[in-house]
Amino acid sequence: MTAPRAHFVETLAAIEHGIQDLANEVDGRINQALRVLLDRDAALAKQVIESDREINARRVELERTCITMMAEQAPVATDLRLAVSILFTATELERVGDYAVAIARIGANIPGKPRVFMPYVAGVGPYRQKCDEVAAAGYEGFALSKDAVTA
């Protein structure tokens, strides 16, 4: 394998790991936000809200790395599809992180924010369980490696 190709493979692997790490981080934030919703935990709500900048920064860094790699290496076919998929996925994960913040704001009695009526939160438990199952299975609906794509 040539040096430029080896660098490309290493960069792509790092981007793949980065998107998986971001997915796990966002999943954790959703878990925390749901705890806020169920327990009305203002301290945890503040933590979720403040962590949003970190998720946003990680998305930007992933996108920057991915775009730089695409500009320098000009991937084609499967590699290009994977890179573009990662770009779109990073944006969507960041959006889910924003939803975690919104849930945390609704769920906690944050000073200055009035409590609001929440008519139904009973479906949160089964939904969270399904999300945990998907994460534990490695997000198999989204193949992150070329081996999985070509299989």
Q: For residue 134, give every residue at least 6 positions away whose Cβ sits within 8 Å of its Cβ, in sequence order, or none.
A: 140, 141
Whether the model clears a pTM of 0.85, i.e. scores above it, the answer is no
Print pLDDT tens along the chain (151 aa).
678 778 888 888 899 899 999 999 999 999 899 888 777 788 999 999 999 999 999 999 999 999 998 898 888 888 888 889 889 999 999 999 999 999 888 877 655 556 666 555 566 677 778 778 877 887 776 655 555 545 4
Residue 106 burial class via C-beta count within 10 angstroms: exposed 0-12, middle 13-18, buried 19 and up: middle
Neighbours of 43 (CB within 10 A): 8
